[in-house]
Amino acid sequence: MKFNPIIKNSTGIVLIVITVVITLIILFNQLSNKSFYAEDGSVKVKGINENVSIYRDDFGVSHIEAANEHDLYFALGYTHSQDRLWQMDLYRRIAEGKVSEIFGKDALEFDKLFRTIGINKISYQFYNNLSPKSKEILKSYSEGVNFFISGNLKKLPLEFDVLNYKPEPWKPEHSIMLVRLMGWELNLAWYTDFTFGEIVKKWGIEKSKDFFPGYPEDAPFIIPADKKTGDTKQDSVKKLSESKIENGYKSLAELGKDFRKLNTEARNFLGIKGTHIGSNSWVISGKKSESRKPILANDPHLALQAPSKWYEVELINKSTGIFTGGFSIPGVPGIAIGYNNSISWGITNLMNDDADFYLLRLDSSKQGNYIYKGSSFPIDSSVESIKIKDIKDEIYYTVYTTRLGPVISNLEKTGLISKQKFGTVKNELLTFRWTGYDYSDEVECFYRLNTARNWSDFKDAIRNFNLPASNFVYADTMGNIGYHAAGKIPVRKNLNSDNLAMYPSNGEIEWTSYVDFDALPQSFNPKEDYIVTANNKPQKDLKFYISNLYEPYYRAERIDQILKSRNNFTANEFKLIQNDVNSLQAREFCGYIFEAYKDSTGISAEEREYLGRLKKWDYEMKLYSPEATLFSEFEIILYKNIYRDKLGEDLFNNYIFLKNIPVRNTSSLLKQQNSWMFDMQGNIGKPENRNDVIRISFKEAIVNLKNRYHNSDFTGWYWGEAHRVLIKHPLGSVAALSPVLNIGPYEIGGNGTTVANSEYGFSTSLEKKEFECYLGPSMRFIIDMANMTSYQSILPSGQSGQPHHQHYKDQTRFWLNGEYKLVKTKDFSGAKGKLTMTPFK
């Protein structure tokens, strides 16, 4: 048989292509699979004293049983490394400012940023001050990590091969860095201050107040308003002139613009989008549970990334009989959220304003000095050497510091700061103080939590906790429940915040001390028989300033509504609450839409139809809800029509990046019928009022959706189609790797104000005409203190950080569907594998 030559050639090419593709797939699978850990068998270990057993369940959750603490933490370091070595190495490189060594020159500016912030330096300083117990734990943990690295240099995870490098030995200080880095990720006080400074620069201090809301008096507080705990005396307040405050904000906006820009770019580069903050946690007493014992739930809301932020593990010390488990931070020894024999605990962000900016005047009489409290001090400096991948010579970068913190003015992307460049506008330099620069021992905190027996032990443990300042909820097997804030809350001299972002002073607003731990908000066995924390304000009658950055109160109010409605809750019903997508914000905002259309004059038939649809809506942000899509489009158009013409495109995007601020502010603003904020400056005629801007926004939303879906069939505007989640790997932006490393995209319900948080960026939604979810429950955890033999949990991805591993994304579908896995405690009968570590002698 004869073939056409073209066909013959084409067939040959196709066969070659197929062969190449198959070869690449085989090679990729070999690279991916070579580093998979052994779940069974035994390994000889140099560095442990007695045998250690590591059991794995069906989802890869590790249960480590050891005869002493040293071996237990050694095995934890080993197990973390088996599953998450590249994740650990990446994040310690970020903290150290050494990402350029693996990513090349594109990451250089981010290394300069983190060298300036100085997490690496303070971590080495703090290590010297740690308790003997913390040093002992960190040493054991690091030995376990390094034992794994040394024995697996030829079987490293895929990412090391892709980037062509090998991990350095793990140091105890690296674990401290990871805790500080998480604190920095969750700190957005600096961003708020910059944004407010730019608004003040544009509008002046008085009008700028209309962009930043106070916390509503009728909103839910963690401690109900009739209870009064938590008190401390502020230093006397000296009224500062508004002109001085205004000038301070203007200087901040000018001097700090490079720092903010670089910080934002660094977060985007590292896959951290949006505010990256939020969480739910609540606990009920036995009086409200079917089991007659407390039930506790927690779901921290963080950027949805692969691998997961959390690593699930149980630690069992045979010599003491203490077992503790739950959620650890890869790279850090101990359980951060979880349970032990006697207690359980959960954490949410306190939303502490933990960073202040300072404007320091340069000393005109002495070059290289600045004035602080009337005295002249030299600007300290240190030279940093930065290695860059594929570049022979190191880059040298100078970091300048003051007594308060690093110099961040003129932190330009082009490179070095020099003393000659300090002569800037108004002859000032900008520095900042952050609670992360103050010593704390989170390793000691986790150890004490993991071994705590009661409320008193629990409080003693979290005294050591600083970063980020958090709300801790508590339950124990004796039937007690409690709440305590923890972290360093600055006591500020001459505080004059007036619900604004903190004024950037030159020393008038001084940190004189920190609020005493025993004076922080707390509650033990409250009469309500339940406690809810959802980043809402802890207490109405606080005598000291914590923050003005609280999240919108809708999640807290929704949980409160459910818990106070009845008794006899079960752990299974808590799963329904964690996955609740009812939006109280949608109910509130839709009420204003209905009010705006009470006057039917000029309403089109189309508007009437869609209005009728919304009136029948149950405010559930479900996958198949077209009403959810219409409301969400209306919401972002409303923000655009209220704020963009007042701020300009760039500042508007900076403002709505802080989602909690515009959502809370708009909720407050809509209570008014008339405000200068409602006037759309591009329109000719009388100023618009609330009803006008609502009707304009509603019409625009309808037109947008009709054009986007190419039809006016309302029933086809599914929320799940518009609202999707892609769980991204740090290397997932590489097109060839994306299908393997990223998880999704998948349809998802909820929004940023529902208990089942699925936040999306407002500016991205306006720009891309979609509602891509980037933040949500980084895990879900429920435990009934009546049954300490198990708990229920789920991760958005899986235990393993290794693509192609069976546990890389085996929990995703359960997470999306609101389902959970049952994790048994101290029960290995159903273990999928057992790895025995034996001492090498």
3-state secondary structure 639-673: HHHHHHHHHCHHHHHHHHHCCHHHHHHHHHHCCCC
- SS3 state at 617: coil
Which of helix, strand or coil describes residue 299? strand
Length of the chain: 841
The pLDDT of residue 90 is 97
Q: Which residues pair with 838 in a beta bridge?
A: 44
- Backbone φ, ψ for residue 408 (5° rounding): -120, 0
d(CA 823, CA 821): 6
For residue 344, which phi and psi values (nearest 5 degrees)?
-140, 160
Contact 772, 724 (CB under 8 A): yes
* CA-angle at 730, arms to 410 and 116, nearest 5°: 25
Token pair 């989802």: residue: 59
Longest dimension (CA), the chain: 101
Distances, alpha carbon 72 to alpha carbons 139, 141, 334, 428, in Å: 12, 8, 10, 52
Our separate counts of H helices and E strands in the chain read: 26, 29
Separation CA 279–CA 270 (nearest Å): 21
Percent of the chain as helix, strand, coil, to the nearest 5: 40, 20, 40
Cβ-based neighbour number of residue 810 at 10 Å: 18
E strand or H helix at 22, and its extent? Answer: helix 5-33
pLDDT at site 33: 67
> What type of residue sits at position 628?
A
Q: What phi and psi values does residue 380 have, to the nearest 5 degrees?
A: -75, 150
H helix intervals, 640-758: 645-647, 649-657, 660-669, 690-709, 719-722, 738-741
137, 132, 130: which is closest to 69 by C-alpha?
137
Q: What pLDDT does residue 241 have?
A: 65
Per DSSP, 306 falls in state S
pLDDT of amino acid 231: 40
Q: Facing residues of 532 across strands? A: 282
Rounded distance, CA 205 to CA 642, Å? 19
pLDDT at residue 506 in the model: 63
Residue 502, pLDDT score: 57
Among candidates 797, 815, 807, which has minimal Cα distance to 305?
A: 797
- Residue 470 sits at the vertex; the CA angle it makes with 552 and 136, to the nearest 5 degrees, is 155
What's the CA gap between 53 and 65, in Å, rounded? 5
Measure the CA dihedral 134/139/143/144, to 10°: -10
> Residues 6 or more apart from 561 whose CB is under 8 A from it?
none
- Chain centroid to Cα 738, Å, comes to 23
- Contacts of residue 829, Cβ cutoff 8 Å, sequence gap at least 6: none
Residue 712: predicted pLDDT: 72
Phi–psi pair at 475, nearest 5 degrees? -150, 150
Q: Which two tokens stand for residue 664?
A: 């809370």
Radius of gyration of the chain (CA): 28
Could you tell me if 85 and 148 are in contact, meaning their C-beta atoms sit under 8 angstroms apart?
yes
Give, as one character, the DSSP assignment of residue 230.
Answer: -
Please list the residues that pair with 399 across neighbouring strands. 382
523 forms beta bridges with: 483
pLDDT at 663: 96
Instruction: Check the CA dihedral 134-139-141-145 and report its sign.
Output: positive
Using the Cα atoms of residue 682, residue 685, residue 687 and residue 691 in order, give the sign of their dihedral: negative
Q: How distant is the alpha carbon of residue 837 from its chain centre? A: 35
Strand 41-45, strand 52-56: pairing: unpaired
What per-residue confidence (pLDDT) applies to 10? Answer: 42
Stretches in the chain below the pLDDT threshold 50: 1-24, 26, 228-238, 413-425, 498-499, 501
Secondary structure of residue 41 in the 3-state scheme: strand
φ/ψ of residue 18, rounded to 5: -60, -45
- Indicate the DSSP class of residue 598: S
Tell me, rounded to whole angstroms, the distance of Cα 833 from its chain centroid: 33
